[in-house]
Amino acid sequence: MKGPHNIWRLIRTGATLERTGAMGVVLEAFSAPPSLRFAAHFLGWPFKWLGLKGDPSLPPATRALTALGPAYIKFGQILSTRPDVVGDELAQQLRYLQDKLPPFPTAVAKQMIELELELPVDQIFSEFSEPVAAASIAQVHRARLADTGREVAVKVLRPNIVKAFQKDIDAFYLAARIIEAIAPFSRRLRPTDVITHFEGVVTGELDLRLESAAAAEFAANTKDDDGFQVPEPIWQLSSRQVMTMGWAEGANMGDNEAIDAAGHDRTALGSRVLQLFLSHALRDGFFHADMHQGNLKVAANGDIIAFDFGIMGRLDEYTRRVYAEILFGFIRKDYRRVAEVHFEAGYVPADRDIDEFARALRVVGEPIFGMDATRISMARVLAYLFDVTERFGMQTRTELILLQRTMVVVEGVARSLDPHINIWQVAKPVVESYIKQNVGPKALVRDLGRTLQVLARFGPKLPGMVEARLVGQDVPQEPVVVKKVLHPAIWMATGAGLLALGVWIGTLI
């Protein structure tokens, strides 16, 4: 339940950060000003004794987040991919959160499997290992199918994880409302809507049947992608709390020493992981939205293997085109066009000055081009970008949250492989290819074709419906899609069709 009782949860969060020593580490990593550091310690110190102790063997930040629970661990996983924002030392500490959390007993996992699949574990698997990876929501066991001998990965949800996540999310709701109340300027960022979006994502991640469906769809979309693999789920051995899929063998994407020892080109891998993400987001509108190092491996042949499909992102075609045009504008240094796209999509209020906005975007983009990645402080870039969005009244777009977050994570993965990577140069061929296919004459013809396909479904009825409308009569049992969409679409499609026909005839003359 979302309510004031969660004040205790927030107090304990601050107390835990203070007790474990994480407060100072986090403030230092984000280069917080001295006044903020003093205020944080001053407010947190009296409640220090209320904080969770955590595992003293872990570094402070990792110790605090693991003690606080799964939602906090998710946040730490994101930060672990951004050494340019939080520093190399803290990022390295937080990588522990990706797949090295304390596991729950194998006996408990077997009980859950038998309960879910309604078969004895020994009857399903001839071999069943201790946990090989444990993260915030589930742990993975390596097993061998009894009937075929095939090696598989068996993912099992943590016991009582749904209740634990709900407790964290309830506290986040309260924190969002407090922030909106005491800092009105934050409302444009829509903190409560962001938490609602996060809750929806997490709810889907807690049902492994949905993850199995996502894995199957993602595998189908990417089956022809060179240098990329997706293990497919085994449906008959998957359920709400258990998922079985093919075993993926390879070096962890976060282990540069192992990647080098295997003879792989980390520069090429860094470019490929970024290009694959952009290709999936733009081409398919369906992308892996949790692509940190713990969810990626490098196979012996150099292929990138993705797994853990609990969080997936989806974009409609219009949003993909807007996103591609924004990226393309930055790549071409056409900041005026980038500004125009923001205004056309309604991301910036129409009463703001478009030229001023274009100039502000130039300040964001220009320092990045042609500069070695090791000399770019993404923390400063993000801080200035935040100032720009505040100045021009841009609201948080909840439909883009996963895309923006994953872009940050994937860029962090690419930088960990190749610190000198230039993200704009790497992104250019993917974005240009998408623009060529989806913005311009080809896209117009394709869109008209789709419109005509929709109209064709009502072909036998259209003459009567149009005639009735022309004389002002109601059409009995008229489909809603016709009433609300197709009437204006008929005239638009007719006009566009005549225009296209005229252009085509003109080319023949």
Q: Is 387 a catalytic residue?
A: no
275, 426 Cβ separation under 8 angstroms: yes
171, 68 Cβ separation under 8 angstroms: no
The Cα-based distances of 212 to 139, 219, 429 in angstroms read: 15, 11, 32
Q: How far is Cα 465 from Cα 498, in angstroms, rounded to an integer?
A: 21
Q: Choose among 362, 354, 349, 355: nearest CA to 393.
A: 349
Q: How far is Cα 462 from Cα 464, in angstroms, rounded to an integer?
A: 6
Q: How far is Cα 336 from Cα 354, in angstroms, rounded to an integer?
A: 8
Q: Which of 84, 290, 308, 418 is catalytic?
A: 290
Give Cα 346 to chain centroid, integer Å.
22
Q: How far is Cα 460 from Cα 466, in angstroms, rounded to an integer?
A: 11
Phi, psi dihedral angles at 424 (to 5 degrees): -70, -40
151, 144 Cβ separation under 8 angstroms: yes
The Cα-based distances of 311 to 84, 199, 200, 279 in angstroms read: 24, 11, 10, 18
Q: How far is Cα 310 from Cα 212, in angstroms, rounded to an integer?
A: 8
The neighbour count for residue 122, using CB atoms within 10 Å, is 11
Give Cα 56 to chain centroid, integer Å.
32
Q: How far is Cα 91 from Cα 374, in angstroms, rounded to an integer?
A: 15
The neighbour count for residue 4, using CB atoms within 10 Å, is 8
CB-based burial of residue 285 (10 Å sphere; 0-12 exposed, 13-18 middle, 19+ buried)?
middle
Q: How far is Cα 206 from Cα 212, in angstroms, rounded to an integer?
A: 12
Strands, DSSP E only, in 170-323?
A: 228-229, 242-246, 251-252, 286-288, 296-298, 304-306, 312-314
Q: How far is Cα 344 from Cα 341, in angstroms, rounded to an integer?
A: 5
The residues with which 138 forms a beta bridge, in sequence order, are 157
Q: How far is Cα 457 from Cα 482, in angstroms, rounded to an integer?
A: 11
Q: How far is Cα 176 from Cα 188, in angstroms, rounded to an integer?
A: 12
Q: How far is Cα 219 from Cα 306, in angstroms, rounded to an integer?
A: 10
Tokens in use for 266? 């980390």
Q: How far is Cα 29 from Cα 91, in angstroms, rounded to an integer?
A: 10
Q: What are the residue numbers of the active site?
A: 290
